[in-house]
Amino acid sequence: MAGQDDATTTVPALLPLYAQVKARLVARIQTGDWKPGQLIPNEFALADELGVSQGTVRKALGEMTAEQLLVRRQGRGTFVQQHTPESMLFRFFNFHDAVGEPISPETLWAKARVCVAKPAERSRLRLAAGAQVVRISRVRGHGGRPFDHETIVVPHDLFPGLAETPEIPNTLYDHFQQVYAVTVTGGEEKLDAVVAGEREAGWLDVAAGSPLLRVERTMFSFDEKPVEWRLSVCAVANARYAVRLG
């Protein structure tokens, strides 16, 4: 299969042909050859360049669109997905209020520092001993009250200068893509019901012993590379965690 990226992209030959094509096209996003918001060549041009059928390219592009790496715009073509604060909040923040409206939290306070990764952070982010991380602590609110406290940990080598940012962005994943060329492609979450201790009560302005929801999240970039570990505690007395399945 011919193509300008063949020399730099190794694809297992045992993969179905469309999956090989997909891997090569994903690599173009990963390496920055295709940039966020860029219009990509059409199916005919890609099929001709890669020496495969149009149907093979269509299937590869279809999977990339389903994974939100690409977006198709009627009458305009197919573009590399560009993260925005709104799209990232809608996609990755799953809380709704008592009447079912999405909650859009705003940062009340945040602080960040560079430090040596703790053992748990090294494990989640697959870092070597002694690696540095950026650790962010922040409280976000909704409806005039604190809603969640987050401890966010990211590898310092991926995000140099983040701790010195004058104002930590309310939504980080679009910032990661636009400033650091790191695209978050997905993640996993684990949820636990917990009760507020004195520290959590102070953060969230609730009584000690109040029920909280703890959310542990690991986010990945390409090739399942972990780029963020986040631990949140949320005051959910008037909120619901809602996800759409299928």
pLDDT (tens digit per residue) in 137-191: 999 999 889 999 999 999 999 999 999 999 999 999 999 998 999 999 899 999 9
Q: What are the domain boundaries of the chain?
A: 17-80, 85-241
* Cβ-proximal residues to 32 (8 Å cutoff; 6+ apart), any chain: 181
- CATH code matching the domain that covers 17-80, chosen among 3.40.50.970, 1.10.3720.10, 1.10.10.10, 3.10.129.10: 1.10.10.10
Whether 55 has a pLDDT exceeding 90, the answer reads yes
**85-241 under CATH 3.40.1410.10, yes or no:** yes
End-to-end CA distance of the chain: 34
Q: What confidence tens digit (pLDDT) does each residue in 79-116 have?
A: 998 877 777 666 778 888 888 888 889 999 999 999 99
| CA separation for the pair 24, 5 (Å, rounded) | 7
What was the pLDDT predicted at 13? 63
| CA separation for the pair 124, 120 (Å, rounded) | 6
